[in-house]
Amino acid sequence: QRKDIAMRSSLLHLGLLSALIFAPCVAPAAERPNVVFLLADDLGYRDIGCFGAKDIRTPAIDRLATQGVRFTQFYSNGPECSPTRTAFLTGRYQQRVGGLECAIGTGNVGRYDDAIRLRASNDLGLPVAETSLARLLKDAGYATAITGKWHLGYEDKFSPNLHGFDHALYCLGGGMDYFHHIEDSAERGHVLRLNGQPEKREGYITDMIANEAERFIAANHGRPFFLYVPFTAPHSPYQGPADRLPEALPNDSPLWAQSKAPPAVYAAMIERMDEAVGRICAALDKHGVAGRTLVVFTSDNGGTRSARPTGLRDFKGSTFEGGIRVPCLVRWPGVLPENMTTAQPAITLDLTASILKAAGAKPPEGRALDGMDILARIAYGQPDISRTLFWRGRRGEVTRRAVRDGSLKYVIQTAGGTTKIEGLFDLGSDAGEERDLRDSRPADVARLRELLAAWEKEVQPKR
């Protein structure tokens, strides 16, 4: 059946014939899909209905699962915000950029040695030289927009517009008051921007994100477009749509604490994000482009302690499964099967490769992608394959690393050069990473350590 679906697709889908070779030229505009990339912020693995949430209602997001593919072993590139966003926009491991292995601190703070060094020279962010997905799609004839959270540099030289976004409504940092758009830094900075300029608007940021997305679709439905929608929900501060106060939350409000969300407020934030997803999908229907639009929904990292229980080990910031395994849904009518669940391991930067291939675009010269065209495998019903995936996150003196090879995963955490946590796990039988196999499988430990070391050497940044 999947093969029949693929055979019925038009020249639009010739870009999926190979997961390895990019099309030599850009396809005609009418044959390429629109792309809507919906990114939640700190969403836990079981925080939506189709992944097991019982007390959070997400009918619009769940509908994407029934209309498309649900990935049960999908990973964010990093255990925090900025790293995964970097990997998505570049299609490469974020370690290659430098300084972005940790979320940029509120108020533009570097949080480990390399980030501190770059901050000192006002270089903490995603350089324009790291050609972004938006730039590549814009050059291929796409209209491009971001509406939501940027978190890839405070300085003007890192503005989304310089990265290829035609239109950009965004917040600069990691979190801000949902109503007053002020972050909890010492400066209490107002961090909402429109095309690089300070912007003051009334409204709940999740609703504003949806409003801007609807306007963009209405204005650009006659040409191929790329719409990047990085929500701030359910990242702290924990404010539901009915929680507006006359003044911005003070910095000492407990609602900024990521591990202490009131459960009902947390649910309300996700449910409002679900409504926003529903509005965006309705706009695609209204303007007659849903049938030729690739829609992705995923999260930038695992949930905080405020998330619903997952059965996975640990939380945001960790390279254990709870910090990096995230929900992922992909709908592409006529190309991907409907109501399919796959256990194929995949990672954020795989989606970048798939989007570029679908659009008939190519990565820049000398910058090979680190991901694979994962959607081609699904479209053509190819069997699951073993993957080797890597993670490293740094904050202060702590470095968290992990490598998954097949079903085996090796995790190590060090601080000041001393090993604090280490383990080998078989995710095939132990997704919760409860049974450490180091003593019984020393050869595998040695092999995975070597893989990790070789990868770290290969992805060293050049700035």
Residues with catalytic annotation?
81, 151
Helix (H) or strand (E) segment spanning residue 254: none
Is the CB of residue 51 less than 8 Å from the CB of residue 325? Answer: no
Nearest CA among 396, 386, 235, 207 for reference residue 302:
235
Q: Compute the radius of gyration of the chain from its Cα atoms.
A: 21
DSSP 312-363: SS--TT-SSHHHHEEEEEEE-TTTSPSSEEE---EEHHHHHHHHHHHHT--P
Helix (H) or strand (E) segment spanning residue 113: helix 113-120
**How far is residue 107's CA from residue 99's CA, in Å, rounded to a whole number?**
16
Question: Phi and psi for 70 in degrees, rounded to 5?
Answer: -110, 120
**How far is residue 350's CA from residue 332's CA, in Å, rounded to a whole number?**
16
**Cis peptide bond upstream of 237, omega within 30:** yes
Strands 192-194, 197-198: pairing kind: antiparallel
157 token code pair? 């030289």
